[in-house]
Amino acid sequence: MIRFEEVGKRYPDGTVAVAGLSFEVGEGELVTLVGPSGCGKTTTMMMVNRLIEPTSGRILVDGEDIASVDPVRLRRRIGYVIQQVGLFPHRTVLDNTATVPALLGWKKARARARARELLDLVGLDPEVYGPRYPAQLSGGQRQRVGVARALAADPPVLLMDEPFGAVDPVVREQLQEEFLRMQSAVRKTVLLVTHDIEEAVRLGDRIAVYGEGRIEQYDTPGAVLGTPANDYVASFVGADRGLKRLSVTAIEPSDLEQPPVARLDESAARAADRLREEGGRWAVVLDSDGDLHGWIGIDEAARAGEGSRVADLAHRMGAWLPVGAPLKQAFSVMLQHDAGWVAVLDGARFLGVLTPVKLHEALRRSVDAEARGVAREDVRFDSVAEA
């Protein structure tokens, strides 16, 4: 969708902001550009909507060399969100949001209806916030309006320059979450600039890690954290990259162990005999549909009278996770409940349990080492001694 071919930018004073950039952003993909101040991220992004012209190479959007596209026409296809949101102070939030459709000549009623829809999408009630002026909003709300305005004309491409930079960390996290939810619905092709590695790995399908004026690594968050391409990337992503990787690695069914299982309608004593033979001390209790009900201790089941059923003794499960949840959440649940395992469900259906050993294996899987031709034993993990 967006393709950089050997793109370079030298400013008139001789500063080389970027050189030899070649990478591609797929349709519907969210790519974060991350790196220290002055490394060329903003220059890269502003070349896409031709606010800055490259001095070498070319950029294609949807297969078309943008050098030959009228900049105004190009920008209609590209939403742009910046940190200093740049809302018009004397216009209402609704009119600010409707700016681009109005410029495109939409009828007023249609533009406003669209603006209302977009405000709703970014979590602002249009009845409440639409009539307000930008000064009557919090920083986080202004950022949301900035995103709504950029999306109003439904452009396939979105450029975002530190869009959540001007708000405090709590609001920032909230905006990131909302944005991810929205992106999973609208699936824009997004280039997002940030200097914050946490934000980059949290939001990006892929990350471009910038050194000075060039990309040092372009890969998925898991791969950048798991197999940094060089020492520069390793130090940029930080010594705690192992921990960060917990946040970007999802639980997969193949990560799970199958524990002993008891059925709700079984006799407790009979279940205890069977489970003892399997060598367990506890079992997961499922109903007849295979849905999770809870758990049962085997000694407790053995002590129960003849007439007792598993259903009479089963404990409710304190916590479980949906498959696809990040490993970090699993780890957090294990710590919080002082548990050696956590149940994983697909909807209500029980899939298995994640244990610390399996969690560790899943982290190794996440670096996808074999696919990259890296021997598993060569994947560097941050050890306690290194940290």
Ligand X SMILES: Nc1ncnc2c1ncn2[C@@H]1O[C@H](COP(=O)(O)OP(=O)(O)OP(=O)(O)O)[C@@H](O)[C@H]1O
CB of 85 to ligand X, least distance (A): 16
Q: Binding-site residue total for ligand X (CB under 6 A)? A: 13
> Which range touches ligand X (CB under 6 A), out of 34-42, 111-119, 121-129, 140-148?
34-42
| Binder of ligand X out of 11, 70, 254, 258 (CB under 6 A) | 11
Does position 42 interact with ligand X (CB under 6 A)? The reply is yes
Q: Please say which residue, 33 or 283, places its beta carbon nearer to ligand X.
A: 33
| Contact (CB, 8 A) for 310 and 296 | yes
d(CA 277, CA 274): 5
C-alpha distance from residue 105 to each of 108, 109, 302, 365 (Å): 8, 11, 76, 51
| Binder of ligand X out of 8, 25, 41, 353 (CB under 6 A) | 41
Does position 54 interact with ligand X (CB under 6 A)? The reply is no
| Contact (CB, 8 A) for 27 and 228 | no
Q: Please say which residue, 21 or 268, places its beta carbon nearer to ligand X.
A: 21
d(CA 76, CA 45): 16
d(CA 84, CA 165): 9
Does position 39 interact with ligand X (CB under 6 A)? The reply is yes
Does position 15 interact with ligand X (CB under 6 A)? The reply is yes
> Which range touches ligand X (CB under 6 A), out of 31-39, 64-72, 197-205, 345-353?
31-39
Residue 207, by phi and psi: left (phi above 0), alpha (psi -120 to 50) or beta? beta
Q: Name the DSSP letter for residue 77.
A: T
Run of H or E residues at 303: helix 298-303
CB of 175 to ligand X, least distance (A): 19
| Binder of ligand X out of 38, 211, 242, 356 (CB under 6 A) | 38
CB of 206 to ligand X, least distance (A): 18
Q: Please say which residue, 208 or 351, places its beta carbon nearer to ligand X.
A: 208
d(CA 256, CA 360): 12
Where do contacts with ligand X occur on this chain (CB under 6 A)? Answer: 11, 13, 15, 17, 35, 37-43, 195
